[in-house]
C-alpha cells in the first residue's frame, strides 16, 4: 500500500467483505436468550451507510492524510542530492556564485560517474584543478589551471537548491550513505509507530490516538527544520515517523468503521487517492521553494490545526460498542441520524440498553487460540511455505514501491515533475486493484501487477539515454503496477489466514514489509556503479515475487477460512 502499511485487520471489515457478495455469510451462534447482540452493520443500514454525517466526517479524516503522505516522503527532497561542484576561489562570485560558467570546464574535472547529460558537461563534485597562480577579479583565464587535482572544502549548488547536504556539508561520495540513512531511520520509526499506536488505539480509542499522532507528526516535523545538527535531525526524523505511522492507519480504521459494508472498499480507495495527492504536493512545494527547511515547515506546521478534531471527529462507534460504552455510542448514532434525516426505530434504540450487552465468549480465549493456530500452521509445510511466500511478496512490494518513489528524482528531465507523476500514478494503480480483484481474482491481479512492474522496470533500464520520455513512461507504468499489487496483497493476505489469527497474519506480513522499505532508500546508490542497476534490481525483485505468487490459491468467491483445516483446503 502507498502509505504506512496497516497492521491491523478489522474483523468487522472481513465480515463486511464476506457479506457484501464476495463470500457467503457464515452462520453465527445466537446470543443468549433475552439478550440482543448488537450488530453495527445493521445500525448503519438504518441510519444510512454513507449519508451526510459520514461524508462530513470522512472528508475531515482524509485531510490529515494529505500531510501524513507528505511527511512520509519529504526526505526525498530534504535529504536529496542537488547538482553541486567545488567553489573555486577567485573565480566564483563570493556572494552570488553561479553553478555554470564558461570557465568551469577549465577549473573542474569531469564527473567520473556521469560526465555528460542533456545539459552537457557535468563537473566533479569534490575535486578541482590546481591553478598555476592566484586568480583575482573572477577572471579565470584559459590555461590558468594545471591538471593536478585537489580536494575542495566549499561548494556551489545549482539553482541555489538547499538540502541537508549543504546544511551540514554531507558532501562527496563517501558521505552519501548518511543521506540514504535518513530514509532508513524514517522507516524504522514507521515500523515501531505502527505497532505501538495500533495497540494504543485498541486500548484508549481511535480518536484520541489519531489526534495525538497528528500533533506528534506536526511538532517533530517543525523540529526537524530547526535542528542544529545532523544527529538531532535524525532523532526528530525517527520521532516524526512514529507519529506519521499512526495517522493513515487510524484514518483508515475510523473511516472504514464509519461506513456501511457496501461502501467500505470505496472509502478505502478514496483515502488512498488523498494520500497520492499529498505525496505529489511535496514536489510542488519543493519546486517552488528549493529549500529543505521551507519544505519541512510547509508540510508540518499546518497539521497542528487538526487538534480541533478532538471535539469535531467522533470516536469509532464500533470501538465504543466493543468496550461496552453503549451510552456514548448511542449519542453518536442519534447525531448521525439527525444529520442523515433518519428517525431511529425503537428496536434499534433498545439495543443500547446496558442490560442487553452480550460479551463475546471468544474474547478471553483469543491469545490462547491464536497460539494454538500458529502451532498448527507451523506443522504444515504447505502453510509455512505459503506464509514465507507472503512475507517475500510484502517485502518485495515495499522495497520496489518506495524504491521507485525515491529513484524518480534520478530520472532525466525535471525531477519535481517526475516525482509528482510517480505519486499520482497511484490513483490509477489503486483503481485498477479495486476493479481487477473482483473481475479476475486476487491471484492473477497480484501476479499480473508484479510482472508488469518487473517487465517495465527492466525494459526502462535499457532504453537509450536520449529517449527519456520512454523511460519516464515505463517508470510510471511500473509504479501503477506495484501500487496495484500493494492494494491487492493487503486484502489477499487477510483471506489467506484463519479468522483467529487474521490480525496477527496481516500485522506480521506488514512488519516484514518494513525491512524492504528500510532498504529501499539505499537502492539509488547502486547507480554509482551502473546507472541502470537500481531499475534492474526493482525489475528482478518484482518479477520473482510475481512468479512466486502463482503458487497462492485463488480466494475470490471463497468463504473466509475460520480454521486451519479450511485454510489448507484452499
What residues are paired with 168 via a beta bridge? none
User: How far is it, in rounded angstroms, from Cα 299 to Cα 314?
Assistant: 25
User: How far is it, in rounded angstroms, from Cα 462 to Cα 157?
Assistant: 30
Q: At what angle do helices 206-225 and 176-204 cross, to 10 degrees?
A: 160
pTM over 0.75: yes
SS3 label, residue 126: coil
Tens of each residue's pLDDT in the chain, 570 residues: 445 444 333 434 433 333 333 333 333 444 444 444 556 677 777 788 788 888 898 899 999 999 999 999 999 999 988 888 888 887 887 777 888 877 788 888 887 666 445 555 678 888 888 887 666 555 676 677 788 888 988 888 887 789 999 899 898 888 889 998 999 999 899 888 887 887 788 788 889 999 999 999 999 999 999 999 999 999 999 999 999 988 988 888 787 777 776 776 777 788 889 999 999 999 999 999 999 999 999 999 999 999 999 999 988 887 887 788 888 888 888 888 888 888 877 777 776 665 554 444 444 444 545 566 666 667 677 778 888 999 999 999 999 999 998 888 877 778 899 999 999 999 999 899 889 988 898 899 999 999 999 999 999 888 876 777 888 899 899 999 999 998 888 888 878 877 666 666 777 787 888 888 889 888 888 887 788 899 999 999 999 999 999 999 888 877 767 676 776 776
DSSP at 24 = P
Q: Which DSSP string corresponds to 148-183?
A: EEEE-S-EEEGGG-B-HHHHTT--SGGGHHHHHHHH
Q: Would you say 125 and 169 are in contact if contact means Cβ atoms under 8 Å apart?
A: no
Amino acid at each position: 500500500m502507498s502509505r504506512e502499511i496497516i497492521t491491523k485487520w478489522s474483523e468487522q471489515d472481513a465480515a463486511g467483505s464476506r457479506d457484501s457478495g464476495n463470500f457467503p455469510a457464515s452462520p453465527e451462534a445466537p446470543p443468549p436468550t433475552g439478550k440482543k447482540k448488537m450488530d453495527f452493520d445493521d445500525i448503519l443500514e438504518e441510519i444510512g451507510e454513507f449519508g451526510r454525517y459520514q461524508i462530513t466526517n470522512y472528508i475531515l479524516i482524509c485531510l490529515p492524510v494529505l500531510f501524513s503522505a507528505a511527511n512520509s516522503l519529504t526526505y526525498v527532497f530534504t535529504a536529496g542530492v542537488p547538482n553541486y561542484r567545488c567553489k573555486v576561489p577567485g573565480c566564483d562570485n563570493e556572494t552570488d556564485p553561479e553553478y555554470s560558467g564558461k570557465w568551469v570546464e577549465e577549473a573542474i574535472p569531469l564527473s567520473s560517474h556521469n560526465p555528460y547529460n542533456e545539459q552537457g558537461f557535468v563537473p566533479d563534485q569534490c575535486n578541482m584543478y590546481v591553478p598555476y597562480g592566484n586568480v583575482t577579479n573572477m577572471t579565470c583565464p584559459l590555461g590558468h589551471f594545471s591538471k593536478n587535482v585537489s580536494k575542495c572544502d566549499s561548494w556551489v549548488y545549482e539553482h541555489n537548491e538547499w538540502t541537508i547536504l549543504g546544511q551540514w556539508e554531507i558532501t562527496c561520495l563517501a558521505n552519501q550513505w548518511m543521506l540514504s540513512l535518513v530514509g532508513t531511520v524514517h522507516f524504522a520509526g514507521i515500523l515501531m509507530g505502527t505497532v505501538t499506536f495500533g495497540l494504543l488505539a485498541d486500548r484508549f480509542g481511535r480518536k484520541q490516538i489519531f489526534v495525538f499522532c497528528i500533533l506528534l507528526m506536526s511538532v517533530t516535523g517543525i523540529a526537524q527544520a530547526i535542528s542544529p545538527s545532523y544527529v538531532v535531525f535524525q532523532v526528530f526524523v525517527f520521532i516524526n515517523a512514529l507519529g506519521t505511522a499512526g495517522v493513515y492507519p487510524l484514518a483508515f480504521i475510523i473511516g472504514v468503521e464509519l461506513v456501511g459494508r457496501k461502501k467500505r472498499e470505496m472509502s478505502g480507495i478514496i483515502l488512498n487517492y488523498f494520500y497520492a495527492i499529498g505525496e505529489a504536493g511535496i514536489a510542488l512545494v519543493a519546486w517552488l521553494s528549493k529549500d529543505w527547511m521551507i519544505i519541512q515547515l510547509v508540510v508540518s506546521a499546518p497539521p497542528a490545526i487538526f487538534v480541533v478534531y478532538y471535539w469535531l471527529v467522533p470516536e469509532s462507534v464500533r470501538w465504543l460498542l466493543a468496550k461496552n460504552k453503549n451510552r456514548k455510542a448511542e449519542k453518536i448514532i442519534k447525531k448521525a441520524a439527525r444529520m442523515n434525516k433518519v428517525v431511529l426505530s425503537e428496536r434499534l434504540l433498545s439495543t443500547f440498553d446496558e442490560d442487553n450487552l452480550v460479551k463475546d465468549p471468544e474474547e478471553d480465549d483469543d491469545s490462547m487460540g491464536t497460539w494454538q493456530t500458529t502451532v498448527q500452521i507451523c506443522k504444515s509445510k504447505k502453510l509455512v511455505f505459503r506464509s514465507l511466500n507472503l512475507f517475500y511478496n510484502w517485502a518485495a512490494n515495499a522495497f520496489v514501491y518506495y524504491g521507485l518513489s525515491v529513484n524518480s528524482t534520478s530520472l532525466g528531465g525535471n525531477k519535481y515533475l517526475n516525482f509528482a507523476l510517480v505519486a499520482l500514478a497511484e490513483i490509477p494503480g489503486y483503481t485498477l486493484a479495486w476493479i481487477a480483484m473482483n473481475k479476475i481474482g486476487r491471484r492473477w491481479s497480484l501476479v499480473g501487477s508484479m510482472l508488469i512492474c518487473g517487465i517495465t522496470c527492466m525494459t526502462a533500464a535499457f532504453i537509450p539515454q536520449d529517449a527519456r520520455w520512454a523511460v519516464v513512461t515505463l517508470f510510471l507504468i511500473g509504479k501503477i503496477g506495484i501500487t496495484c499489487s500493494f492494494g491487492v496483497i493487503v486484502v489477499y493476505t487477510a483471506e489467506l489466514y484463519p479468522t483467529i489469527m487474521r490480525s496477527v497474519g496481516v500485522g506480521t506480513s506488514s512488519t516484514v514489509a518494513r525491512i524492504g522499505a528500510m532498504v529501499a532508500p539505499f537502492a539509488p546508490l547502486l547507480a554509482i556503479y551502473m546507472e541502470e542497476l537500481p531499475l534492474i534490481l526493482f525489475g528482478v525483485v518484482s518479477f520473482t515475487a510475481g512468479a512466486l505468487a502463482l503458487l497462492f490459491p485463488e480466494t475470490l468467491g471463497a468463504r473466509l477460512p475460520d480454521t486451519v483445516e479450511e485454510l489448507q483446503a484452499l
